[in-house]
Amino acid sequence: MVMYLPEERPVLDLPYQMNYLANNYGYYPQDCKEPIFRTQHGLNSRMNSPEAELTSLPVHVSLQDRELWDKFSSIGTEMLITKSGRRMFPSCKVTVTGLNPKVKYMVIMDMVPFDNHKYKWNKDRWEVNGSADPHLPNRFFIHPDSPAPGEKWMQYPISFHKLKLTNNTLNSNGLVVLHSMHKYQPRLHIVQSPDPCNPHNAGGYLRFTFPEAAFIAVTAYQNQEITKLKIDNNPFAKGFRDNGLNRKRFREKESQETQDSIGQAKNEHAVRQPQKGEEVDVTVSSSVDCSRTLNSSEVVSSVTPNPFISAFINPSTAGGPSPHQTHTILSLNNRHLNSPRETRPSSLHSLCAALPVAQSSCIQSSTGNTNLSRLPSQISSPLNPQQHHHHSSPASQTPDRSIIQLQPYFQTPPHPSRQCPEMELPLPLPPKVSRMQLPESALRNLEMTDYVNLRPLTDILNRIHFRALASGPSGKVLQNPPQPEQYLRGSDRELHPQIYPAVQEYIDQQFTLNSMLSSQTEHRSQMDYVSARPLTEYCCEQQTGK
DNA sequence: TCCTCTCCCACTTTTGAATAGG
DNA sequence: ACCTATTCAAAAGTGGGAGAGG
């Protein structure tokens, strides 16, 4: 289990966590956590600001299934990408602690380049094969339960098993687009809603990279050991176990080869002795050579400021060394690698200011009131990820969107080992997210970030709402739910003015929410939401004085 | 020729509708 | 009429392999 701590946190402040981790296979790549703060002026500052509640919390993130990840990473993790999208295996599953139980957060994941190289598989290992292709604009996978109170995120491990990877840049189905033969690492974003009752508390957001979950995107598996590991651990691939002996095609082929070999043996009048390598191929175990697994002492820690964070905070300095440059823990082959090409500030910076305001209480809670008591019970990490209960449905207990701001605390239910949320709770009905709460500068940044294959932010926001609509009021999937692309496609909106029912419906439901915002923000957001104009257009009008 | 990618196949798991029984 | 358990078919997810294309 790996836990990530804020890099600002002095080491002396860690005894509790260190004691906890001492028994739990942890280390502290402290610079993996990158707190981002917002100020009232929309600028970012990276300091221990009292306004930044999220970043002042002792937020810990732990990657689950660490043993499995270690097995894969020791060989060189590969993730299949297909045109229609392929799930990750192992999937990213994290436990989060230290959030404010009352405050709503969004949890988002994306993939960032691990380095600026392209790779090729040469016989039995990966080799650098030139420079990487230009990084595709980030596609964020917003966890379906977003936004949800902190206590819900902390209640169960947060699973991103539904995240799909693709190499199809034209897809608009919420897939994460990657380049084949490029190396990526998952990055988690925890975005806090601003507090409507305390305009000085602009919230903030944290992001965590998982270098031990780095992988090379491939369209076909290159390393047979990876294939073997996947087959042995992924239930969906059970049909390929026992060397695929139970597969029809294999049986046919095996039968043919057997006959051929019999004939050949008869011809040669000799029995061929199996060679070393061939024997391994037949009897290869799922266990891997863990001697290459790096231990905590190999985690490179640097005291130099992370330029990437600075670039994030100050877009003008975008570009520069990679965030993981200071905490590279992957194979030695990668040690020399550097600098993912992230030439633009992450649009999550924008999104952090874009959250719907959905605090459960206007009373500022104590940041020390974090739910850490559950930690020991979540330490175990079964090898088979399918045995995990996926984090699900925290928002399902949210009584009603329209009273999100008023919902009280509720008690933490029994531990997931005794209660499977996915089986016992209905699917969540995430509150709809509108662009109305978003500062236009943030939105502009976010939309501009997707400069290659522009995907308006409204697509993302309405996708969340679409999920709710598709689920129907009772959580059941509707027969012909509207496609998310139907909403708020800026260029299509005049051609299809009828495609905004979700938006229109949401206006009324969000009235209470909006009333809690400043009048200026309220006016702008409702105007923008009603007209469903691309924010860039709106901003242009603002600048021209319309 | 080699490398990468796409498509289809057979297989397993998951999901949800239909049905039966209390 | 309602609830629960069971059954079953469809959908989704998996790697392998053949073949296309650069």
A49 or A518, higher pLDDT? A49
Which chain B nucleotides are covered by protein, judged by CB under 7 A?
A: 3-7, 9-17
CA separation, residue A282 to residues A223, A225, A241, A279, A285 (Å): 15, 12, 12, 5, 9
C1' nearest to CA of A251: which nucleotide?
B10
- Closest residue by Cα to the C1' atom of nucleotide B4? A219
Percent of chain A topping pLDDT 70: 32
CA-to-CA distance for A281 and A295, rounded, in angstroms?
29
Which residues in 76-95 of chain A line strand C, with CB less than 7 A from it?
80, 86-87, 89
Note the CA–C1' distance, A324 to C5, in angstroms: 52
By the 8 A CB rule, do A194 and A203 touch?
Answer: yes
* In the block, residue with structure tokens 């459960």: A360
| Domains of chain A, CATH where assigned | 51-237 (2.60.40.820)
Q: How confident is the model at residue A203 (pLDDT cuts 50, 70, 90)?
A: low
Return all residues near A27 (Cβ < 8 A) that are at least 6 apart.
A2, A21, A296, A299
Statement: the pTM of the whole predicted model exceeds 0.75: no
User: Is A390 within 7 A of strand C by CB distance?
Assistant: no
CB A253 within 7 Å, strand C:
yes
Strand C: which positions are within 7 A of a protein CB? 12-18
Alpha helices, H only, A203-333: 224-233, 248-268, 276-283, 307-313
**CA-to-CA dists, residue A379 to A19, A115, A373, A385, angstroms:** 13, 31, 12, 14
Residue type present at position A110: D
Task: Identify, with chain letter, the residue nearest to nucleotide B3 (CA–C1').
Answer: A120
Q: A215 beta carbon < 7 A from strand C? A: no
Does the nearest atom of strand C lie within 7 Å of A72's Cβ? no
Burial of residue A361, with CB atoms counted within 10 A of its CB: 0-12 exposed, 13-18 middle, 19 or more buried: middle
Dihedral angle at the C-alpha atoms of A32, A8, A354, A408, nearest 10 degrees?
100
Nucleotide nearest to A253 (CA to C1'): C17
Residue A378 tokens read as 């979540």
Residue A260, pLDDT score: 54
Report the range out of A220-234, A453-467, A471-485 with the highest average pLDDT. Answer: A220-234
pLDDT: is A373 or A172 the higher one? A172
Instruction: Give me the mean pLDDT over the A492-520 stretch.
Output: 29
Could you tell me if A286 and A229 are in contact, meaning their C-beta atoms sit under 8 angstroms apart? yes
Tens digit of pLDDT for each residue in A449-460?
Answer: 333 333 333 344
A24 against A85, higher pLDDT:
A85
pLDDT digits (tens, 9 = 90+) for A407-458: 222 223 333 333 333 333 333 333 333 222 222 333 233 333 333 333 333 3
Task: Count Cβ neighbours within 10 Å for each residue of A204-233 and write b for 16 or more, e otherwise.
Answer: bbbbbbbbbbbbbbbeeebbebbbbbbbbb
Protein residue with the closest CA to the C1' atom of nucleotide C12? A236
Q: Inform me whether the pLDDT recorded for A92 exceeds 50.
A: yes
Query: Which amino acid is located at A334 in the chain?
Result: N
Separation in Å: C12 C1' and A149 CA = 30
**Of A7-16, A62-71, A361-370, which has the strongest mean pLDDT?**
A62-71
Residue A243 is predicted with a pLDDT of 54
Collapsing DSSP to helix, strand or coil, A166 comes out as strand
Straight-line distance from CA A252 to C1' B10, in Å? Answer: 12
Model pLDDT, residue A27: 27
Structural contact between residues A383 and A336, judged by C-beta atoms closer than 8 angstroms = no
Name the residue with higher pLDDT: A96 or A295.
Answer: A96
